C-alpha cells in the first residue's frame, strides 16, 4: 500500500490574462492555496481585508482548531447547546437542507467516518469494517438542530465536518467583499473552487477548465465558457490512497461507509452561489448521475439559483445539463464519448 498521489483540493485550472495594478493575493488557507485577482481594482488594503475574512472563516470551520465553532459543537453533550456565529448557522442550515433533499447523500455528520479513514495522514489504510459500522452509527445528521444561532445535537457521539461546503461559502463571502469595494471583475480560486465575475474583456467570456480525472496534471478535460458564475468540481483524483491496487478516495457514501462509487470520476457544478456549487458537487458524486438529475429542479427551487452539472463517468464519458448561457467544450480523445445535452 502506498500513497501515490496527494494534493490539496486543487482541481480546476483557470486560463486568464489581464493587466493588473498589484499582484493578486495568494495565501495558504482552508487547507489549500487561495488566489484572488481583482485586476485593476486590486489594492493592498482590499487584499488585506479579504485575507482577514478568509482566515476568520478558516478558524470558524476548521476541524483541527479546538476553538472553532465546529470543534465546540463536536464537544457538546446532548444536554448542552451552543450559540454559534452567523456564518456557522448559515452553512449548517444549507448543509442540513442538502442532507434532507439528498436523503443523507451529503451528510454533515460524517466526522467520525472521515477521521477513521484519515485519508490525509501519511499512512492511510482501509479501516476494519466493524469500525466503519461503528463510525456510521455516529453519523445521524437528523440529531443536529439549528434554531437561529443556537445549535444542539441530540447525541453525545455525532460529530460534524463541513469540509464539503465551507470553501464555497468562503468564495461567496469574498465575492461580496469585492463587489462592495467596487471591483468590476475578479477571479477567486480557493483551491479549485472557482468564482468569476465581470467581463474578462469587452467581448470575451471567462474560460474555466476542469481537470481530466485520468490525467489531473495534464490538460483540462473540460472548458467552461461563461460570464459570472462559480464552478466547483469533486473527483476521485483529489485526495486518495491506493491499497491492493484499489483507489480509495475522500468522498464517502454514507450508506456504505466506503468511498462513493456511482461510476463517476468527477462532477462539476456551475451556479452563481458557490456554497451551492460546492455542497452539490460532493452530493452529486455520492448520489450518481441519474438521482442528481431527478433532484436538479428540487435543488434549484430550494436554493433559488440555476444549477448545472457536468458528469464525467469512468472512461471519461462526459455529459452535462443544457444551459444556453454556458458553452462547454471537451477535449475528447478516444475512447471518450460525448453524451452532451442531457436535457435536450
Q: What are the φ and ψ backbone dihedral angles of 336, each rounded to 5 degrees?
A: -70, 145
Q: Decide: is 32 part of the binding site for ligand AMP (CB under 6 A).
A: no
Cis peptide before 335 (omega within 30 of 0): yes
Q: Which stretch binds ligand AMP (CB under 6 A): 78-86, 159-167, 194-202, 330-338?
A: 159-167
Least distance from ligand AMP to the Cβ atom of residue 21, Å: 32
Q: Smallest gap, in angstroms, from Cβ of residue 282 to Mg ion?
A: 4
Q: Which stretch binds ligand AMP (CB under 6 A): 35-43, 198-206, 221-229, 244-252?
A: 244-252
Strands 25-29 and 193-197: unpaired
Residue 250 interacting with ligand AMP (CB under 6 A): yes
Q: Which of 36, 57, 91, 114 binds ligand AMP (CB under 6 A)?
A: 114
Residue 92 binding: pick among ligand AMP, Mg ion, none (C-beta 5-8 Å cut-off by kind): none
Cell of residue 149, nine digits: 444561532
- Asked if 270 is part of the footprint of ligand AMP (rule: CB under 6 A), the reply reads no
Structure-derived torsion over alpha carbons of residues 106, 112, 114, 116, reported in degrees to the nearest 10: -150
108 vs 209, beta carbon nearer ligand AMP: 108
Nearer to ligand AMP, 114 or 183 (CB): 114
CA angle at residue 246 from 243 to 247, to 5 degrees? 90
With CB cut-offs between 5 and 8 Å by kind, which of Mg ion, ligand AMP, none does residue 185 bind? none
Minimal CB distance residue for Mg ion: 282
Binder among 124, 164, 209, 254 for Mg ion (CB under 5 A): 164
Torsion over CA: 200, 205, 207, 208 (sign): positive
Would you count residue 191 as binding Mg ion (CB under 5 A)? no
Our finding on whether 308 is near Mg ion (CB under 5 A) is: no
Can you give the three-state secondary structure of the chain, one letter per residue? CECCCECCCCCEEECCCCCCCCCCEEEEECCEEEEEECHHHCCHHHHHHHHHHHHHHHHHHCCCCCCCHHHHHHCCCCCCEEECCHHHHHHHHHHHHHHHHCCCCCCCCCHHHHHHHCCCCCCCCCCCHHHHHHHHCCCCHHHEEEECCEEEECCCCCCCCCCCCHHHHHHHHHHHHHHHCCCCCEEEEECCEEEEECCCCCCCCEEEEECECCECCCCCCEEEEECCEEEEEEECCCEEEEECCEEEECCECCCCCCECCCCEEEEEEEECCHHHHHHHHHHHHHHCHHHHHHHHHHHHHHHCCCEEEEEEECCCEEEECCCCCCEEEECCCCCCCECCCCCC
Of the residues 32, 60, 62, 107, which one makes contact with ligand AMP according to CB under 6 A:
107
Nearer to Mg ion (CB atom), residue 192 or residue 220: 192
| 278 touches Mg ion by CB under 5 A | yes
Among 223, 226, 281, 296, binds ligand AMP (CB under 6 A): 281
Only one of the segments 29-37, 39-47, 54-62, 103-111 lies at the binding site for ligand AMP (rule: CB under 6 A); that segment is: 103-111
Judged by CB under 5 A, which of 282, 292, 296, 330 binds Mg ion?
282
CB of 234 to ligand AMP, least distance (A): 3
Nearer to ligand AMP, 46 or 280 (CB): 280
Is residue 235 close enough to count as binding Mg ion by CB under 5 A? no
Taking CB under 6 A as the rule, does residue 161 contact ligand AMP?
A: yes
268 binds ligand AMP, rule: CB under 6 A? no
What residue ranges bind Mg ion (CB under 5 A)? 164, 278, 281-282
What residue ranges bind ligand AMP (CB under 6 A)? 9, 106-107, 110, 114, 161, 163-164, 234, 238, 250-252, 254, 278, 281-282, 286
Amino acid at each position: 500500500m502506498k500513497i501515490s498521489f496527494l494534493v490539496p483540493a486543487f482541481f480546476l485550472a483557470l486560463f486568464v490574462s489581464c493587466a493588473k495594478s498589484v499582484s493578486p493575493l495568494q495565501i495558504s488557507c482552508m487547507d489549500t492555496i487561495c488566489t484572488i485577482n481583482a485586476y485593476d481594482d486590486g489594492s493592498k488594503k482590499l487584499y488585506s481585508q479579504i485575507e482577514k475574512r478568509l482566515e476568520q472563516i478558516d478558524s470558524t470551520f476548521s476541524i483541527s482548531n479546538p476553538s472553532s465553532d465546529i470543534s465546540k459543537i463536536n464537544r457538546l453533550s446532548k444536554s448542552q447547546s451552543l450559540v454559534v456565529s452567523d456564518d456557522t448557522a448559515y452553512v449548517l442550515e444549507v448543509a442540513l437542507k442538502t442532507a434532507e433533499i439528498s436523503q443523507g447523500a451529503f451528510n454533515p455528520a460524517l466526522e467520525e467516518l472521515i477521521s477513521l479513514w484519515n485519508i490525509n495522514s501519511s499512512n492511510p489504510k482501509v479501516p476494519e469494517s466493524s469500525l466503519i459500522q461503528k463510525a456510521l452509527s455516529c453519523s445521524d445528521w437528523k440529531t443536529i438542530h439549528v434554531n437561529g444561532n443556537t445549535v444542539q445535537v441530540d447525541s453525545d457521539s455525532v460529530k460534524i465536518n463541513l469540509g464539503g461546503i465551507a470553501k464555497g461559502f468562503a468564495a461567496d463571502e469574498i465575492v461580496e467583499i469585492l463587489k462592495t469595494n467596487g471591483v468590476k471583475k475578479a477571479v477567486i480560486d480557493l483551491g479549485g473552487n472557482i468564482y468569476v465575475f465581470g467581463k474578462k474583456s469587452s467581448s470575451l467570456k471567462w474560460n474555466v477548465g476542469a481537470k481530466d480525472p485520468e490525467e489531473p496534471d495534464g490538460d483540462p478535460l473540460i472548458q467552461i465558457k461563461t460570464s459570472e458564475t462559480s464552478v466547483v468540481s469533486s473527483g476521485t483524483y483529489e485526495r486518495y490512497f491506493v491499497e491492493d491496487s484499489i483507489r480509495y478516495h475522500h468522498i464517502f457514501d454514507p450508506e456504505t461507509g466506503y468511498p462513493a462509487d456511482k461510476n463517476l470520476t468527477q462532477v462539476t457544478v456551475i451556479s452563481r452561489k458557490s456554497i451551492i456549487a460546492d455542497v452539490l458537487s460532493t452530493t452529486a458524486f455520492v448520489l450518481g448521475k441519474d438521482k442528481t438529475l431527478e433532484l436538479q429542479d428540487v435543488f434549484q427551487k430550494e436554493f433559488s439559483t440555476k444549477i448545472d452539472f457536468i458528469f464525467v463517468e469512468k472512461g471519461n464519458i462526459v455529459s452535462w445539463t443544457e444551459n444556453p448561457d454556458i458553452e462547454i467544450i471537451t477535449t475528447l480523445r478516444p475512447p471518450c464519448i460525448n453524451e452532451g445535452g442531457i436535457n435536450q
